[in-house]
Amino acid sequence: MPVIRVGIERLVRLTGLRGEELEDVLFRLKCETETVEGEIAIEVNPDRPDMFIGEGIARAVKGLLGIEKGWKPPKAEDSGITIRAGRVPSRPFIAGLVVYDAGVDEEFLIELIQFQEKLHEGMGRNRRKIAIGLHDLDKLPSTSITYEASGLETVFKPLGYGEEMSGREILERTEQGLKYGRISLEGNTHPFLYSGGEVIAMPPVINSDITRVEPGTRSLFIDVTGTDLGLVLQVTDLLASTLSERRGAWIGKVAISGVPGVAETPLLKTRKMRLSTRYVSRLIGSELGAEQCIDLLGRARFNAGLAGGDSLIVEVPPFRVDIIGEADLVEDIAMMIGYDRLEPSKERPIMRGELLAETLVSRRLRKLLVGLGFTETMQLILSNPRVADSLGFRNYIEVSNPVQAEYSIVRPSIIVSLLSTLIKGQHSTKPVKIFEIGKVAYLDEGRVKEDLRLGVAYLDDEVSYEDIQAPIYAILRLLGVRYSVEEWSRPPLLSGRASMIVSGEAIIGWMGEVDPGALEALGIEYPVAVAEISVPRLSSSPKT
C-alpha cells in the first residue's frame, strides 16, 4: 500500500491537529500512521489517490471533523497556454493545467514529487497508462506547447543530468530511460513535448532541465499524457482539485487541440449520483434520515441534497476517483459516523454449522494415527522438484515464476513432504513415525487433478513392509473399510515389498518400502516404509 511521508509540522499546520488526536483521525480515514524523525509515514489506501499529499489529507481531515463540508471548485481562469497535440500513436492523449501561486518551497517540493510518483505507480500503472510532467510556469519558453512523436536524435538537456543528450542516449544511459524507455517507444520515435521550439519533456520518461521546478518556483504548469483519455482527464482534474487546496493557489485552464472531444483542461468535472437513504440504512444496518445522510456526505466532502422521496442527489467532486456506485458512498457515510460508533449487531438467525465430510474423516484419522504412535507433521504444498524427481514422481505441476527453486512445484503426493521432513527428521528419536494429511495436485493426461491425502512414514534402524502394513490395516479395519491389497510397485517403492490398496472398484492407496536408491539420493541413512491413502476415496469406499 502507498506510504506517504509528510513533515509533522507541515501536517499539524494543515490540519490543526497533532499527536494521538491526529493519528486517531487518520485511522478513521483508513490510514495507518507511524512517526519517524520529524516525519509522519501514512499508509494510505490505494483507492484514495487524493490523499497522496498533505493538502489532500488535510481536506479529508477537516471534513471528518466538520470544519469544512462539501466541495467548491477552485477559482479557475484561462491561462493563455495552448497545447497542440500531433499524432502520437503510442501515447495519444494529453491534457494540461496551471497551478498559480503554488509557492513551492523545499518541503512542498518533496511532497509534490512524491504525489507525482505515487500517481505514476498506482493509477499510472508505472507510467504506462498515465504520466505527469511538472514544470515551472515562468520558465516555459512559450505559451504555445506542442506534443508530438519525434525521432530519437532529438537533443535536449534532461532533468538532473547537466548535459545535452539525444533521445537515444537518454533511453540507453539514464536510469529513467532504462526503466520507462520502452513504454511509448515506437520504432525510432518517441513522444516529446515542445515549448517555443524547445523540448520541455520526453513523456513518460523524463523532463527537460529548462523548466525545472525548484524551491522558489511560484506557479506550476503540469502536463498529463497517457493511453486512456478518460484517465488522463481524471488525473488532470485530480491534480487541479487537490493542488488548488494549497493556500492561495488557483487554477489556470489550458486550451487543447488535437485531442478528440477536449477543448480545454482541467474540466473540474463533478458527477451526480442518486442515493437512496433506505439503501444506506439497510446496508449499514442503522436507520439514517435524509438530513443525517446529507450532513455525513458533506463531511466526506460530497455536495448532497434532497431529490424527493427517500432519494438524495450527491455531487461527487473530481478528486474522488474511487466512487463507482452507491455502495462507495455508503462506505463514506459509515466512515463519517465512525466504525467505532457502529454497534456490531449479533442478531442473525441461528443456523446449524457443518464441517466437510473430509474434515471429519481427517480428524478420525489423526486420532487413530496418534494412537498408533505416529506424530503429525506439516509441510508446504510448494515442494522441491529434486525430492519429487528422486522419488520418481513425474506428473507434478510446475510454477512458472517460482521465488525459490526449492518451492517450485506443487507436491503430487504427500510422500514428497514426508520424505523431505525425514531428510532432517531422520535424526529425531527412533523410531520416527510420522504422518501428514493435506492436499496434493498432479497432472493426469494434461488435466489438473487435486486430492486430499493421508501419508504415513515409518523410519527406524530396521524397517520392513509389515511395519507400515500393520498400522494401515488397523486403520482400514477400524473404519470398517472393505479392502484388499495387490502386490504392486511404482517408484519410489521396492518391487516385491509394496502393494496397492483396493476397495470396491477403486485404488484407494498404496504402501511399501522405499527404494534404497531413492533414500540414498535424498541423503536418508535409515530405511523407510510409507503409505498414502486418498481421504475422499477412503470415506466413500464400501464399508463392512
Least distance from other proteins to the Cβ atom of residue 27, Å: 6
Q: Which stretch binds other proteins (CB under 8 A): 108-116, 279-287, 485-493, 497-505?
A: 279-287
Report the amino acid identity of residue 391. L
Residue 260 binds to other proteins (criterion: CB under 8 A): no
108: left (phi over 0), alpha (psi -120 to 50) or beta: alpha
110: how many CB neighbours lie within 10 A of its CB? 16
Q: Which residues of 10-32 are buried (b: 16+ CB within 10 A; e: fewer)?
A: bbeebbebeeeebbebbebbbbe
Task: Rule CB under 8 A: choose which of 41, 267, 397, 485 binds other proteins.
Answer: 397
Q: Report how far residue 357's alpha carbon sits from residue 70's, in angstroms, rounded to the nearest whole number.
A: 55
Residue 67 binds to other proteins (criterion: CB under 8 A): no
User: 14: closest CA among 69, 52, 57, 46?
Assistant: 57
Of 129 and 135, CB closest to other proteins = 129
Residue 3 binds to other proteins (criterion: CB under 8 A): no
Residue 407 binds to other proteins (criterion: CB under 8 A): yes
Q: Report how far residue 503's alpha carbon sits from residue 201's, in angstroms, rounded to the nearest whole number.
A: 74
| DSSP string for residues in 99-164 | EET----HHHHHHHHHHHHHHHHTTTTTTTSEEEEEEEGGG-S-SEEEEEEEETT-EE-BTTT-S-
Residue 343 binds to other proteins (criterion: CB under 8 A): yes
Task: Rule CB under 8 A: choose which of 344, 461, 484, 544 binds other proteins.
Answer: 344
Q: Report how far residue 220's alpha carbon sits from residue 79's, in angstroms, rounded to the nearest whole number.
A: 11
Least distance from other proteins to the Cβ atom of residue 146, Å: 28
Of 257 and 375, CB closest to other proteins = 375
Least distance from other proteins to the Cβ atom of residue 170, Å: 26
Q: Report how far residue 279's alpha carbon sits from residue 287's, in angstroms, rounded to the nearest whole number.
A: 10
Residue 348 binds to other proteins (criterion: CB under 8 A): yes
Residue 300 binds to other proteins (criterion: CB under 8 A): no
Least distance from other proteins to the Cβ atom of residue 450, Å: 6
Q: Which three cell numbers stand for residue 281?
A: 440504512
Least distance from other proteins to the Cβ atom of residue 116, Å: 18
Residue 328 binds to other proteins (criterion: CB under 8 A): yes
**Segment 218 to 237, residues that bind other proteins, using CB under 8 A:** 228, 230
Least distance from other proteins to the Cβ atom of residue 377, Å: 6
Task: Rule CB under 8 A: choose which of 162, 187, 248, 353 binds other proteins.
Answer: 353
Of 263 and 324, CB closest to other proteins = 324
Least distance from other proteins to the Cβ atom of residue 189, Å: 25
Of 174 and 236, CB closest to other proteins = 236
Of 16 and 425, CB closest to other proteins = 425
Task: Rule CB under 8 A: choose which of 401, 444, 445, 484 binds other proteins.
Answer: 401
Give 453's contacts (C-beta < 8 A, 6+ positions apart): 413, 414, 437, 438, 439, 440, 532, 533, 534, 535
Residue 109 binds to other proteins (criterion: CB under 8 A): no
Of 148 and 331, CB closest to other proteins = 331
Q: Report how far residue 107's alpha carbon sits from residue 55's, in angstroms, rounded to the nearest whole number.
A: 12
Report the amino acid identity of residue 284. I
Torsion, Cα 202 79 270 227, to 10 degrees, reads: -20
**Segment 432 to 491, residues that bind other proteins, using CB under 8 A:** 432-434, 437, 439, 441, 443, 446, 448, 450
Least distance from other proteins to the Cβ atom of residue 279, Å: 10
Q: Which stretch binds other proteins (CB under 8 A): 83-91, 200-208, 359-367, 472-480?
A: 359-367
Of 150 and 286, CB closest to other proteins = 286
Task: Rule CB under 8 A: choose which of 251, 290, 361, 410 binds other proteins.
Answer: 410
Q: Report how far residue 16's alpha carbon sits from residue 61's, in angstroms, rounded to the nearest whole number.
A: 9
The 8-class DSSP code of residue 537 comes to: H
Q: What is the 3-state secondary structure (H, E, C) of 39-64?
A: EEEEECCCCCHHHCCHHHHHHHHHHH
- Residues in binding contact with other proteins, number by CB under 8 A: 91
Q: Report how far residue 395's alpha carbon sits from residue 411's, in angstroms, rounded to the nearest whole number.
A: 10
User: 206: closest CA among 257, 172, 243, 253?
Assistant: 172
Q: Given the C-alpha cell 458527477, which residue does it identify?
A: 271
Task: Rule CB under 8 A: choose which of 20, 261, 355, 505 binds other proteins.
Answer: 355
**Segment 139 to 178, residues that bind other proteins, using CB under 8 A:** none
Residue 35 binds to other proteins (criterion: CB under 8 A): no
Residue 339 binds to other proteins (criterion: CB under 8 A): yes
Least distance from other proteins to the Cβ atom of residue 425, Å: 4
Torsion, Cα 123 124 129 133, to 10 degrees, reads: 130
Least distance from other proteins to the Cβ atom of residue 226, Å: 13
Backbone angles phi, psi at 86, to 5 degrees: -90, -160
Residue 299 binds to other proteins (criterion: CB under 8 A): no
Backbone angles phi, psi at 526, to 5 degrees: -130, 150
**Segment 308 to 327, residues that bind other proteins, using CB under 8 A:** 322, 324-327
Residue 374 binds to other proteins (criterion: CB under 8 A): yes
Residue 117 binds to other proteins (criterion: CB under 8 A): no
Residue 544 binds to other proteins (criterion: CB under 8 A): no
Report the amino acid identity of residue 203. P
Residue 334 binds to other proteins (criterion: CB under 8 A): yes
